[in-house]
């Protein structure tokens, strides 16, 4: 069953048991109106120019349209949906700026599920399905999701200043559409994932820096878009877990205690900018991680947990890897395969590192820092060449180590 068939069948289901087919949204649509929909209304609420309309679709109600969007209004629209809003022709909901939407029912679009613009505020406890994108918003939009948002194109596409908190499912469910993309596509912003973010076709999360396709590398390097923070205790899985625009110079900070997986072999592809990945207890990184250009940071704070057998590649420039739970003396063995360093600790924890220039190990009193010469074969293990306790305190190494022993 393709997504459109699914959408239609979902739309039809609630009709059984509904006797009346009259328009049941009252009062009539006008600017500033407060409208309640019960029963079934089959020609939608459609006006391209009306502002400040408040709509409540009650439990059991159907607001549908086979010829246009189910809801088409302009700015500052508020929708609270406990029923079904569906269009078999266009979007479920289509507005301009400042859509405030609370969904506890189902919103289904033959094109987008929800098409809004800047300052979209969405609280979703139900289901939003787009045969193209699930939810599209503009700058400074925020989504809180405890339900399910799916799209054949991006499940969620936001622009700059995005905030997403996910406790449910956000999924690209490409199954034969024409423009399959990511689970979440955003220019820059923050994502807190305690649920599931997956894509069957492309990245789970794409910081799409909005760099012009014809930008030169120098132009792209000056582009501030694409910066992002990702906090994860759930699942982030796609062709890549988290990817970024290779032309931009944006910084990503990723803090994870859950799974980040890339089925094409790349879990994290962070490209330019000074990127940081913090791996806490419970982390699983399935796929290689590429940090790209810029002085990047990788922090292991795992309390000895197993992590991954995949590669962490610092890429160009001066990159630092930190071990919060291990001393240099806890290394059981190390070896090189081409330019990949295999580090095996005495707990059995093993990691594979390439192109890291600085190696920091927490101690009881500070941080010991080594350069790569510490891992060159047939060279006696040197003493730490720099003490950077205060500088590396920013990573929490000293505080955490002390706290653990207290």
> Which residues are at the interface with Ca ion (CB under 5 A)?
252, 270-271, 273, 275, 291-292, 294, 296, 314-315, 317, 319, 355
The least CB distance from residue 295 to Ca ion, in Å, is 6
CB of 144 to Ca ion, least distance (A): 26
Nearer to Ca ion (CB atom), residue 165 or residue 317: 317
Residue 35: CB minimum distance to Ca ion, A: 45
Q: How far apart are alpha carbons 241 and 264 in whole angstroms?
A: 10
For the bound state, the minimum distance from the C-beta of residue 273 to Ca ion, rounded and expressed in Å, comes to 4
Beta partners for 99? none
Q: How far is the CB of 249 from Ca ion (least distance, A)?
A: 7
Decide whether 241 or 294 has the Cβ nearer to Ca ion: 294
Is-cis flag, bond preceding 27, omega within 30? yes
Contact by Cβ (8 Å): 56, 77: no
- Which lies closer to Ca ion via its Cβ, residue 383 or residue 394? 394
Two structure tokens written together for 295: 């002085």
Bridge partners of residue 285, in order along the sequence: 260
| Min dist. Cβ of residue 313 to Ca ion (A) | 8
Let me know: does 190 contact 170? Beta carbons within 8 Å. Answer: no
CB of 354 to Ca ion, least distance (A): 8
Residue 294 CB, shortest distance to Ca ion, in Å, is 4
Burial of 34 (0-12, 13-18, 19+ CB in 10 A): exposed
If the CB atoms of residues 198 and 355 are measured against Ca ion, the closer one turns out to be: 355
Q: Report the nearest approach of Ca ion to the CB of residue 206 (Å).
A: 12
For residue 401, the SS3 value is: helix
Q: Which CB sits closer to Ca ion, 41 or 232?
A: 232
Q: Which is nearer to Ca ion, 174 or 291 (CB)?
A: 291
**Of 349, 332, 330, 350, the residue nearest 341 (C-alpha):** 350
CB of 130 or CB of 292, closer to Ca ion: 292
Q: What's the CA gap between 184 and 192, in Å, rounded? A: 12
Q: Specify whether the backbone of 325 is left (phi greater than 0), alpha (psi in -120 to 50) or beta.
A: alpha
Distances (CA, A) of 257 to 163, 314, 334, 400: 20, 21, 26, 16
Nearer to Ca ion, 319 or 368 (CB): 319
Residue 62 or 341: the one with the smaller Cβ distance to Ca ion is 341
Distance of CA 289 to the CA centre of its chain: 16
How would DSSP label each residue in 271-292? -SS--EEEE-TT-EEEEEEE--
Cβ(132)–Cβ(179) below 8 Å: yes
């Amino acid at each position: 069953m393709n997504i459109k068939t699914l959408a239609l069948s979902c739309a039809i289901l609630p009709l059984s048991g509904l006797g009346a087919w009259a328009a049941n949204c009252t009062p009539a649509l006008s600017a500033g109106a407060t409208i309640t929909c019960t029963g079934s209304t089959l020609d939608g609420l459609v006006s391209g120019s009306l502002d400040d309309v408040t709509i409540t679709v009650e439990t059991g109600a159907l607001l549908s349209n086979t010829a246009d969007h189910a809801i088409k209004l302009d700015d500052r629209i508020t929708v609270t949906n406990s029923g079904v809003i569906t269009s078999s022709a266009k979007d479920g909901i289509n507005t301009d700026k400042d859509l405030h939407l609370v969904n506890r029912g189902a919103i289904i679009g033959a094109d987008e599920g929800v098409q809004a613009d800047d300052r979209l505020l969405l609280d979703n406890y139900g289901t939003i399905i787009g045969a193209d994108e699930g939810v599209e918003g503009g700058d400074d939009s925020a989504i809180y999701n405890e339900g399910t948002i799916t799209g054949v194109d991006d499940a969620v596409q936001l622009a700059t200043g995005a905030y997403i908190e996910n406790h449910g499912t956000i999924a690209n469910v490409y199954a034969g559409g024409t423009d399959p993309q990511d689970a979440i596509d955003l220019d820059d912003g923050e994502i807190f994932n305690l649920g599931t973010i997956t894509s069957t076709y492309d990245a789970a999360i794409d910081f799409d820096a909005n760099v012009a396709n014809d930008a030169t590398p120098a132009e792209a390097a000056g582009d501030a878009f694409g910066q992002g923070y990702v906090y994860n205790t759930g699942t982030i899985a796609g062709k890549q877990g988290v990817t970024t625009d290779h032309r931009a110079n944006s910084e990503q900070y990723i803090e994870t205690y859950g799974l980040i997986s890339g089925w094409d072999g790349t879990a994290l592809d962070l490209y330019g900018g000074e990127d940081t990945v913090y791996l806490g207890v419970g982390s699983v990184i399935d796929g290689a991680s590429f940090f790209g250009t810029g002085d990047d940071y990788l922090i292991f704070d795992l309390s000895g947990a197993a992590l991954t057998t995949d590669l962490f590649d610092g890429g160009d420039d001066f990159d630092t890897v930190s071990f919060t739970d291990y001393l240099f003396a806890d290394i059981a063995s190390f070896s090189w395969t081409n330019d990949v360093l295999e580090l095996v600790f005495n707990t059995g924890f093993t990691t594979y590192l390439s192109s890291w220039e600085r190696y920091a190990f927490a101690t009881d009193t500070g941080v010991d820092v080594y350069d790569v010469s510490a891992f060159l074969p047939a060279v006696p293990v040197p003493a730490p060449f720099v003490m950077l306790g205060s500088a590396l305190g920013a990573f929490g190494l000293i505080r955490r180590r002390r706290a653990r022993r207290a």
